[in-house]
Structure 1
Amino acid sequence: PWDRNPIIATMGAGSLAYIFTTPPTPVPGTPAALVDFLARFDFDRDAPRIFGTNGQFTESPMALMSPPDATNPMLAAFARRGGKMIVYHGSSDPVFSVNDTLHWADRLQRNLGLAGANNVARVFPVPSMGHCQGGPATDQFDALGALVDWVEGGKAPERLVASINPANKELPPTWAKTRSRPLCAHPQVMRYAGGDVESAASFRCANP
């Protein structure tokens, strides 16, 4: 479909035109028009429009898409209400850089201390996952269930267990259909502890 263009030319072009620039740029929804829009995008002229506002769009795309308190996160009001936040982000996301999310988490941990930040928000990078799913990754996990357990049961998630989607055509052929991996809360990383390399039980989350 879509003349077999990659997802960045189909989903990415439309979102860039209508979401990430103010004012939005009307683009026909045909494959040729989307590719032409990307080819003509001028980074000197058009990219700054991510910070743009006008009478109709009073919040810039950057402000809309940035995490709370992006430059100096404290999450004070959120924490006062007893809020809990689980953030996951694919390390191969072509739309949003995982590094921006991790920098936000680092600033939050610097402001509140690791224990204080972990009491409010936990960030789980997903190795090799693309935008929300896909890629050569274990991209199937229950973050919502973990959030419910945290909010309603007081059980903070130290790690999430992720498995593969057997229908994912981007998986390496050498991977077992039962492969699972732990997703570790930043700044911890996954370490092999011994045993079956296809099982999450063979890995631990450790400080880098």
Structure 2
Amino acid sequence: MTARIEPLLGQDARTVGWLLAASYSADPAFQALWPDSGVRARVLRSLLTASAQDAARCGGAVLARDGVGAVGVALWLPPGMYPLSTVRFALQTPALARAALAAPAAFPRYVSVSARLARDLSPKRTGELDWYLRAMGVHPRARRRGVGALLLAPVLARADEEGARCRLHTSDPANVPYYERFGFRVQPPVFRTRRDGPSYLGMIRPPG
């Protein structure tokens, strides 16, 4: 597939927010948090658009385009950019408020899980500053055509040059073999979204 990779800009955040929301609609953790598909779609569009805006400001995030439009996005955050600072968290308050209004009962669980994932990535705990893949999605019309590899390649190469690790979390075990192709390996701990719900798996890629 012919696609080009370019830096993600803030003006693209709304477009990639919709793309990511579609990509994550079947994610086990999000299905457990927001079982209603309509509510889940609204919440994810809001939250992932805000995440895209944040990633665009931080630098490192990349967008894939073909001749028609955006076909994929990877919200890479450079070392030291995750967990979010107080100022960056405050900028996401409107999106969080919309999520809380759309599904009040689920919001405390979402905040709790997000806080646990952030603690897992804290430099105070890990002792290292890592590249973090906060989210990645590919448009349905471009799947299985190598777009994901294109989105991963620039940062993986940069991390190797810097001697830095790359990290991600996924609640879909089906994603594990895919990321293992690029050198990621599952590392403990495992975080459950709820007592009887799916788990988030942490994956780490050492510098090659």
TM-based fold match above 0.5? no
Q: Higher relative contact order by CA 8 Å / sep ≥ 6: 1 or 2? A: 2
More helix by share: 2
More strand by share: 2
**TM-score normalised to the size of structure 1?**
0.27
**TM-score normalised to the size of structure 2?**
0.27
Larger Rg computed on CA atoms: 1
